[in-house]
Amino acid sequence: MRKRSRSFKNGIGYTIRRLAVLLIVLLLAVGAVFGIVSLIKGIGPLDSYTLMPFSASDKYVFTGSGFLYLDNDTLIYDDLNDNSKDYSFRVSASEVELSASKTIAALYNSSAVQIVGAQTPIEQSGEASKISAVKCGLDYIAVLFEETDSKHFLKIFDKNAALIDEIHPESDYLFMMDFGFTDTDSNTLWTLLVDTSAEIPICTITTYDLSKKSTTGVMTAQHQLVESLEFTDNSIFAVGTNHLMRYNNGSLIFRLSIYGYKVIDYSFTSSKPVFLLQPRSSDSSFSTVKVCTVSEKETADDKTITIQLPHDTLSAFLMKDKVVACTADTINTYSLSGELLSKTDPEFALTANGAVKLNDSEILLYSGNDIYRYQVK
């Protein structure tokens, strides 16, 4: 479905007017640590909750093992388990975004990308393009470029900012909806394209092993848009607007109707994939959710349970073998069969206005501009 052009040069190969590019500058070498790092509060082993050193208005990203964030003109990384991996840098840039995995961190704006530790930046691919997004994997980063005619293409770089590969949609009618890595410690890249010339939605999912520079799978989904992808060792689950689809080795194995619902979370529990669904008609309400457990066999063997949550639930998540529902002042946990297991009042005076899941045991609670990291028991 797409033509791939490869390059193994150490540069992008374009002549760019330097004055037109706003470069991101790292003013300190890798490993230089400001004294402020040791003074920062909020990072370390959890008791029950921790006030984070950054606020909701700051730029930050969770790497899977720590937090990378901007404090005014300083980029700071705090590892949750190993303080020797902490670092900070002064940066000079405008409208900077962050992207990171467990092994790679990058800052970027529409003109350039700076990988932490790389000697040279990645610059915009010609004057008629801009950088739209950056995703980090184990050993590589993928940079999405957007041209003035709304065409998109990807360039793949290693940790040293050397160009490894390029991925261009085969047709002008193929639009790149999303891309990423199957995990933060993976070298498998995926892309999701939609054919805008077709009378019905046709989405194409492609996976690449960047370490081998090879395509490993091409899958299509018709009659609906694919909204998200989930990966296991044996499956790719494509969440569509009408169906949950399982693929293996590039082939569609089964489709399960989820019409009228959207998937809001996913977890792999007890050797089975579990999906949390919310009615599409209630975008702002989590009062009713469904827990759908499926198999990785030839048939879905699905089991679906409906759970009634508190009417003022702000967010709901799957965390290992539990459903967690957060209200303004409580954290409620349910079994996958819908049994209420606990109703926890946080141990501090907190009125939450939002929550996001970090992993299968931790969440971030938002209270005004403050952010708390909370260990779900």
- Reading the chain (377 residues) residue by residue, the pLDDT tens digits are 333 333 323 333 333 333 233 344 443 333 333 333 333 334 444 457 889 999 999 999 999 999 999 998 999 999 999 999 999 989 887 789 999 999 999 999 999 999 999 999 998 866 668 999 999 999 999 999 998 777 889 999 999 999 999 999 988 889 999 999 999 889 999 999 999 888 899 999 999 999 999 999 999 999 999 999 999 999 999 999 999 999 999 999 999 999 999 999 999 977 899 999 999 987 667 889 999 999 999 999 999 999 999 999 999 999 989 999 999 989 999 999 999 999 887 565 678 999 999 999 999 999 999 999 998 87
Q: Are 198 and 234 spatial neighbours (Cβ–Cβ below 8 Å)?
A: no
pTM: 0.85
Structure tokens at 219: 């899958």
Q: For residue 150, give both structure tokens.
A: 């709304």
How much is the pLDDT for 9?
A: 33
The answer to whether the beta carbons of residues 322 and 306 sit under 8 Å apart is no
Task: Report residue 269 as tokens.
Answer: 């529990």
Using CA atoms, how far apart are residues 310 and 295, in angstroms rounded to an integer?
Answer: 29
| Interatomic CA distance for residues 356 and 363, integer angstroms | 6
Instruction: Quickly count: other Cβ atoms within 10 Å of residue 311's Cβ.
Output: 10
Q: Which residue has the tokens 């840039």?
A: 93
What is the architecture of the domain spanning 262-377? 6 Propeller (2.120)
- Residue showing tokens 């779900």: 376
CA 169 to CA 336: how far, in whole Å?
A: 41
User: What pLDDT sits at residue 286?
Assistant: 87
CB atoms near residue 285 (< 10 Å)? 14
Q: Is 327 left (phi over 0), alpha (psi -120 to 50) or beta?
A: beta
Q: Report the C-alpha gap between 8 and 10 in whole angstroms.
A: 7
Quote the tokens at residue 340. 């209420």
Distance (Å, rounded) from C-alpha 163 to C-alpha 148?
22
